[in-house]
Structure 1
Amino acid sequence: MHSRRTRARPEEDPIPTLRFGVNYTPRHGWFHAWHDFDPGRAREDLDRIAGLGLDHVRVFHLWPLLQPNRTLIRTAAVDQLARLVDLAAEAGLDVLVDGVQGHLSSFDFYPEWTRSWHHRNVFTDPEAIDAQADLLRTLGRALTGHPNLIGLQLGNELNNLIEHNPATVAEVDHYLDTLLAAARDGLGSRGLVTHSAYDAAWYGDDHPFTPEASARKGDLTTVHPWVFSGGCASRYGPRSPQVLHLAEYGTELAKAYAEDPARPVWVQETGAPEPHIPAADAPHFARETILNASGCENLWGVTWWCSHDVDRSLADFPELEYTLGLFDAEGRPKPIAEAVAATVAELRAKPLIAEPRATALVLDCTPSTRSISGPGGVYFDEWMRLRQQGVRPTVVLAAQAEDESHLAARGIKELIRIP
């Protein structure tokens, strides 16, 4: 197992070195493991993760177990989460905690007080919002004293819940602002407070979770560039430049929407789902994805999805969920784990110097035409064409393309426009 790292503590983020970690999916029972939490099994999983040379994990409890009634937050469940953070510390791992799950691997977990006869829209119902704020405030207070805590995130890809909980952009913004304030109130001044969304926030026409919200709310921007979004891997091929540079592109796209040119971006989820990325191609995909993203200025880090394959004894998962792990369901490292470990070790020994990108491709879209920036879109294809020609383009919004101070702050000297 790797020994404790001598580097800056989480409260000192952003730190000068890149962070590399994994989203923790318990080997025994997946997230149903919270029903009968076993510290011994969790310790074994975390030790194996640390053995790859990774420095952090992102962890998820289940909302119905934390808050089974609108006014009841179970102390025992909160204590389980705090215990997992401590176990990670023993393994030499820092931790980001996601609060409201919410959505995990195609399954949605709602407490009963939001469903059926008690249905409430989790994004717009005032009492439902207040309850989630109470939960995040409670988690923050319970976790704030843990020295290996990176921070508290509102929940995993909350915009996956929008289909059954419709909301406007203004309502989503209010929801995010309320929950971010509650998480900060609970956590205090130490640690990051963040939120996350799946790719529709960036590519989805008129999606109510907006790129501006992702890039401007919370302490940094998180991106989840998945190769199945927009059919990227099936459209271009698993070894294509479009796939291998997708996380890099997602990072540069996120930077375009930020108001602060120095705002960090965290590639918080990326992975090699079969059959989109065949197992034989997964090690190459992992290495190239990490290296390409690491060339982006202001990158906070890369967190792979995920630690362990879902055991096939568990039914009804999409096929790709059974093969996403760095470890198989028996806990054995897969070739992709070896590729991730080797690439991380290489970058730690000789970090890439992320130079400012002097060339920017101008993105001119409206909320109803954001899909041009996703796979298959004219903007996406042009950015990738430039990248294949050896250009290292960043992204600038049309509204900022004439702002000399903005361009100068980002080191942009040349603009390219799509005819």
Structure 2
Amino acid sequence: MSTSPLRFGANYTPSQGWFHHWLDFDLDAVRADLDSIAGLGLDHIRVFPLWPLFQPNRTLIRPRAVEQLVQLADAAAERGLDTSVDGLQGHLSSFDFLPAWTGTWHRRNLFTDPDVLSGQAAYLRTLAAALADRPHFIGMTLGNEINQFSGDPHPDPDRVTPEQAGAWLTRMLDACEEGAPGKLHLHAEYDAAWYQDDHAFTPAHAAREGAVTAVHSWVFNGTAQRHGRTGTATEHHAAYLIELSKAWALDPHRPVWLQEVGAPAPLIPAEHAAAFTEATVANALDCEDVWGVTWWCSHDVSRSLADFPELEYSLGLLTNDRRVKPAGRAIAELVREQRGRTRKPAPRTTALVVDTGDEVTAPRRSVCAPGGAVFEAFARLTADGVRPTTVLASKALDPGHLAARGITEVVTPDEVR
């Protein structure tokens, strides 16, 4: 069970130029952004190099771009902020960023083509190695929700099998470890990994590969539409994903990083963003083994930039002119309350049975999605004050497994009324 201090951070979205800032990198503007993030009392940022700008050719990783990434991380450290770096961007806020050597005339599968794999591994290894000696470097995440490229609803997917996805994860995580041994290297998927029956990236991948499990909690996935902005399922969605991940974890106390969570308008109106933030984080903190909470995102997207989905413009803790928003004040207050405390939430003794078929490929994992039997039963139990967790059907009668997790009662979705 984790008793280490909880980490609080933000996904860094540059206030000037969004992630296109790498094209016109301005260290002074970055420093001003980092000052505003540090002013909230946060202790880390998650940073997103744009893959095509850093590796425009399969055998060219631009030294100047890597140098700028290191400068950003060093500037963060000067302000008391540790840095986690996502490598393969990949996908950000509805836009795809893939290098030309993977598309059109050079179209080849991102997850299986030998040349693409060697290029990706070299790139991740290079970024990791550039930061390996920095004590403020947390580690690498392979990419931001890169699993969305692997199947529907992507308009041009690079289809793979779960076995191929697993092989890709292993190779890329190994490359990160080679570059920066001993750092916190992980991968991160959007919630199709937990909710979509035929998705190649599976709950077992998420909960068993890498140093920690990452979950990205977005209530625009049908949760808020179904349960409303203050519904139990909405305010506990992040906690649900944290507890759902534990069903597949082999380590009974594997750390879970709530790596992305935000308050998307209009489902969460601006005037309710602070209340949603407070409730979501408080409920996540009621889970054991949480490594940290990293809010999406640091700064709003400027309205001068075109074609973003409407909700993407207003997700920041700060405006794009660096003024603190109500959600930012809520986070700052939570950080002040938690600073120096040692977390030790009580075990969740009631486990809801999760039966998705084969536990490795989870062919029936839609039961875990909004509207599914597991999701709705978890919400009902939570509304009744039960504080549930989850357990795979294959482990539900294993006394050793249950004891290791502190589970004393097991219920099925059909038994929840």
TM category (shorter chain) comes to: over 0.9
Q: CA deviation at 1:356?
A: 1.1
Distance 1:350 1:263, change over 3 A: closer
Q: How do residues 305-320 of structure 1 correspond to structure 2 at under 5 angstroms?
A: 305-320=296-311
Matched, 1:179 2:172: yes
RMSD: 1.1
Matched, 1:75 2:63: yes
Q: Distance in 2 between matches of 1:352 and 1:244?
A: 21
Residue from 67, 84, 98 that aligns with 1:96: 84
Q: How do residues 294-333 of structure 1 correspond to structure 2 at under 5 angstroms?
A: 294-333=285-324
Letter in 2 for 1:221: T
Q: Distance in 1 between matches of 2:343 and 2:274?
A: 20
Q: Distance in 2 between matches of 1:384 and 1:91?
A: 40
Q: Is the 8 A contact 2:3 2:344 kept in 1?
A: no
CA displacement 1:193-221 (0-9 Å, x = unmatched): 10000000001111100000000000010
Matched, 1:287 2:282: no
TM-score (norm 1): 0.95
Q: Is the 8 A contact 2:128 2:176 kept in 1?
A: yes
CA displacement 1:258-310 (0-9 Å, x = unmatched): 01111100000000011111011100000011111011111101000000111
Q: Distance in 1 between matches of 2:124 and 2:295?
A: 24
Q: Secondary structure at the match of 1:268?
A: strand
Aligned to 1:5: none
CA displacement 1:293-338 (0-9 Å, x = unmatched): 0111111010000001110110000000000001112211111111
Q: Distance in 1 between matches of 2:107 and 2:21?
A: 27
Matched, 1:202 2:212: no
Q: Is the 8 A contact 2:126 2:179 kept in 1?
A: yes
Matched, 1:48 2:33: no
Q: Distance in 2 between matches of 1:418 and 1:292?
A: 21
Q: Is the 8 A contact 1:22 1:54 kept in 2?
A: yes
Matched, 1:188 2:181: yes
Q: Distance in 1 between matches of 2:270 and 2:343?
A: 27
Q: Secondary structure at the match of 1:415?
A: strand
Q: Secondary structure at the match of 1:223?
A: strand
Q: CA deviation at 1:23?
A: 0.2
CA displacement 1:333-362 (0-9 Å, x = unmatched): 111111111122112265553111111011
Q: Secondary structure at the match of 1:368?
A: coil
* Structure 2: segments with no counterpart, 5+ residues: none
Residue from 212, 220, 226 that aligns with 1:220: 212
Aligned to 1:344: 335
Q: Distance in 2 between matches of 1:365 and 1:184?
A: 32
Q: Is the 8 A contact 2:260 2:296 kept in 1?
A: yes
Q: How do residues 120-269 of structure 1 correspond to structure 2 at under 5 angstroms?
A: 120-162=108-150, 163=154, 164-189=157-182, 191-229=183-221, 231-269=222-260
TM-score (norm 2): 0.95
Q: Distance in 2 between matches of 1:283 and 1:270?
A: 13
Q: Distance in 2 between matches of 1:384 and 1:147?
A: 41
Residue from 357, 372, 379 that aligns with 2:374: 379
Aligned to 2:11: 23
Q: Distance in 1 between matches of 2:117 and 2:346?
A: 42
Q: CA deviation at 1:369?
A: 1.8
Q: Distance in 1 between matches of 2:135 and 2:259?
A: 21
Q: Is the 8 A contact 2:257 2:290 kept in 1?
A: yes
Q: Distance in 1 between matches of 2:127 and 2:65?
A: 10
Q: Is the 8 A contact 1:221 1:254 kept in 2?
A: yes
Residue from 43, 46, 62 that aligns with 1:58: 46
Q: CA deviation at 1:87?
A: 0.6
Q: Secondary structure at the match of 2:292?
A: strand
Residue from 389, 399, 402 that aligns with 1:407: 402
Q: Is the 8 A contact 2:12 2:298 kept in 1?
A: yes
Q: How do residues 349-368 of structure 1 correspond to structure 2 at under 5 angstroms?
A: 353-366=344-357, 367-368=362-363
Q: Secondary structure at the match of 1:340?
A: helix
Aligned to 2:389: 394
Aligned to 2:365: 370
Aligned to 1:9: none
Structure 1 runs (4+) deviating above 4 angstroms are: 349-352
Q: Distance in 2 between matches of 1:387 and 1:188?
A: 40
Q: Is the 8 A contact 2:244 2:389 kept in 1?
A: yes
Q: Distance in 2 between matches of 1:183 and 1:149?
A: 13
Bigger CA drift: 398-407 or 364-373? 364-373
Letter in 2 for 1:412: I
Q: Distance in 2 between matches of 1:32 and 1:141?
A: 24
Q: Matched residues, percent identical?
A: 55
Q: Distance in 2 between matches of 1:77 and 1:137?
A: 15
Q: Distance in 2 between matches of 1:198 and 1:37?
A: 29
Q: Is the 8 A contact 2:131 2:137 kept in 1?
A: yes
* Structure 1: segments with no counterpart, 5+ residues: 1-13
Q: Distance in 2 between matches of 1:102 and 1:305?
A: 17
Q: Distance in 2 between matches of 1:142 and 1:204?
A: 36
Q: Secondary structure at the match of 1:171?
A: helix
Q: Distance in 2 between matches of 1:15 and 1:383?
A: 26
